[in-house]
Amino acid sequence: MAIRPVLKMGDPRLWQRAEAVRSFGTPELHALIADMEETMHALDGAGLAAPQIGVGLRVVIFGFEDNARYPDVGSVPYTVLINPVLEPLSDEIEEGWEGCLSVPGLSGWVPRWRYLRYTGFDPLGRAIDRSVDGFHARVVQHENDHLDGILYPMRIRDLTRFGFSEALFPDDADRPKD
Ligand code: NI
C-alpha cells in the first residue's frame, strides 16, 4: 500500500474517460483499491476516483463517519464502487457545496440530482444497487463525474459561488469536505 500523489485540476489525465474494469478480485484491483483508501484517508477526503491517482479505470471509493466538523452531512457508508451506473429518481435538483482533492483549497456550489439510484460492483464483482438522496447522492455523482473527465467546477452555474474555502467560509466548521 502507498499514498499516491493526487492529480490536480489542469492535468490532462483528469479530462479523460476511464475504462470499465473487466476482471474482478485480482491482486492488481485490490492493490489499486488499497492505495486509493490509504490516499483518501491520508488527505481526509470524502471520496476518491481512480483517475485522480492517474489510473484510468472506473473505480471510485467514498464514505465517511459522522463528523463533528460537518454536522449537516451525516455519514455515508464506506463503499468501493466499480463500473457505476447512475439513474436520477426524480427531476429534483439540489444545490450544495463541494470540494475535491484535485481542486485543493477551493469550494463551489454545485447542482446535483437529489434522488439517485446507483448500481455497480464491489471488488469481487458482487452487485451493488442502492437508492439514496442528499449528500450520499451528491458524493456518488461527484465521484462518478471523475470517471467521465468532469470536475465539479465545470458544473457550477453561478461562479460567484466558487472560490477559496477560507474566503467563502471564514468559520472553518462550515467548510465542505474535499
Ligand atoms: Ni473530486
**61-72 pLDDT per residue, tens:** 999 886 655 666
Cell of 93: 435538483
Distance CA 60, CA 145 (A): 10
* Total of domains in the chain: 1
The answer to whether position 19 is within a domain reads: yes
Average pLDDT over every residue of 51-66: 94
User: Mean pLDDT, the chain, as a whole number?
Assistant: 94
Give percent of the chain above pLDDT 90.
Answer: 88
Average pLDDT over every residue of 77-103: 97
Question: Do the Cβ atoms of 165 and 177 come closer than 8 Å?
Answer: no
Task: Identify which has the larger pLDDT, 71 or 19.
Answer: 19
The answer to whether position 29 is within a domain reads: yes
52: which residues sit within 8 A by CB, 6+ positions away? 6, 7, 14, 101, 102, 146
The answer to whether position 71 is within a domain reads: yes
Distance CA 116, CA 138 (A): 9
CATH number of the domain enclosing 143: 3.90.45.10
The answer to whether position 147 is within a domain reads: yes
Concerning whether 92 is annotated as a catalytic residue, the answer is: no
Q: Which amino acid is at 18?
A: A
Distance 143 CA to ligand 1 centre (A): 6
Which residues on neighbouring strands pair with residue 128, listed in sequence order? 120
Question: Do the Cβ atoms of 21 and 36 come closer than 8 Å?
Answer: no
Residue range of the domain that includes 139: 12-90+111-153
- Give the model's pLDDT for residue 70: 60
Distance 145 CA to ligand 1 centre (A): 8
Distance 146 CA to ligand 1 centre (A): 7
Q: Report which of 91, 11, 85, 76 is spatially closest to residue 45, judged by C-alpha positions.
A: 76
The answer to whether position 57 is within a domain reads: yes
The answer to whether position 37 is within a domain reads: yes
Let me know how long the chain is: 178
Cell of 140: 456518488
